Copies of this chain bind each other. A is one copy, B any other.
Amino acid sequence: MRPARPNRERKITVNDVALASGVSRATVSLVLRGSPLVHAKTRERVERQIAALGYVYNRAAANLRTRTSSSVALIINDLSNPFFAEFAMGVGDALVGAGHVALLGSTGESVEWQEAVLGSLMEHSPAGIILSPAEHTDGPRLQRMLGHEPVVVFNREIPGTQWDFLALDNRNGARLATEHLLSLGHRRIAFFGGHADSSSCQERRQGYLGAMDAAGVAADPRWLVECAPNRVESRQATRMLFQQEHGLTAAVCYNDNVALGFKLGLMERGLRPGLDFALTGFDDIPEAAQTTPALTTLAVDPRERGRQAAELLLERVRDPDAPVRRVIAPVRLVVRDSSGTPLHD
């Protein structure tokens, strides 16, 4: 509610353009909106004045009059993660293409901050919200806060809400990774990393367990290791896995960062990734291809997901009564050195 400072110079308005080109405001407005009602000569005259005066369309005023909005709130739980940064770029690109603009908010995985940011963004009357929610988001509370606002939820399901949802095909991705390791001869394969209470971790574990089961391999529950989805935690957590003698030869990691941390953990105890121990990741971050050995992983194309989220939201804005959608985006296995060559016992 804090007021900002007014601009010094008076802004050029449709009025000024109308005066300068000798027509009414209404006509200028029609020209701006590309109406065919205006005579070509008149249009040309008006457009010349628009350029000459340096007129800038005031979309906020137009939106107020028409009770529309040309902005979309984009709330990202962790923008410092390249996956989400790429997603944000995709959203931004698609919105600009549709004449919209993204209002950016980042929450740093804090539910409180997320609420504050949402409150602030709501006052700018976005046409809708694209939300990559913070962990442990309170669904019903959020639902109450946002009312009938069009919302697309990305990546992480929010229990107790009825919004459009876009996510990766976590289950199939983990299944593909596991099948790949199985096909190389591995049997004692861990699933490593992620928080067991998050929907994406659960889905990936299901994919892993499904593949193990289908191959007739009994997965020891102790092969499911939880850890925060980042490199530091993962590196440390490898210790737990190797203190107990499980005889593991491979691991399906929750994501690339976990896999890269795991790799460091392997190297610390003298194991060579890809040779002594096989690994897979998830996300295909740029580094996956750059590291040595290069990381076998699942490509998820976050930029394209961003575009997709923007389109889903714009559709929802156009048709608020359409049935709620769950879109599961495909992922693609990218095989690289880290999963090694066929294993022969």
A54 interfacial by beta-carbon distance below 8 Å: yes
Contact B68 A93 (CB under 8 A): no
How many residues of chain A are within 8 Å of chain B by beta carbon? 74
Check B232–A261 contact: CB distance below 8 A: no
| The residue from B121, B260, B292, B317 contacting A5, defined by CB atoms under 8 A apart | B317
Given contacts A80-B86, A86-B80, A88-B104, is CB(A67)–CB(B6) below 8 Å? yes
**Could you mark each residue 21-36 of chain A with 1 if its beta carbon is under 8 Å from any beta carbon of chain B, else 0?**
0000000000011100
Given contacts A9-B148, A54-B147, A147-B54, contact A80 B69 (CB under 8 A): no
Q: How far is the CB of A89 from chain B (nearest CB, A)?
A: 5
Number of copies: 2
CB < 8 Å: which of B11, B70, B232 contacts A290?
A: B232
- Which residues on the B side are within 8 Å of A100 (C-beta)? 4
**A3, A98, A116 pick with most chain B CB within 10 angstroms:** A3
Q: Can you list, as one digit per residue, whether each of A68-82 has a CB less than 8 Å from chain B (1) or not (0)?
A: 111100100001101
Residue-wise, chain A 46-88 has the 8 Å CB interface mask toward B (1 for contact) of 0000000010111111011011111100100001101001101
| B89 near A317: Cβ-Cβ < 8 Å | no
* A287–B290 touching, CB < 8 Å: no
Q: How far apart are A266's CB and chain B's nearest CB, in angstroms?
A: 11
Enumerate 27 A-B pairs (CB-CB under 8 Å) in ascending A order. Answer: A1-B32, A1-B33, A2-B98, A3-B33, A6-B66, A54-B147, A56-B123, A58-B125, A59-B124, A59-B125, A60-B60, A64-B64, A70-B124, A74-B104, A80-B89, A88-B104, A89-B108, A92-B106, A93-B106, A96-B116, A96-B120, A101-B104, A101-B105, A101-B120, A231-B286, A261-B290, A267-B292
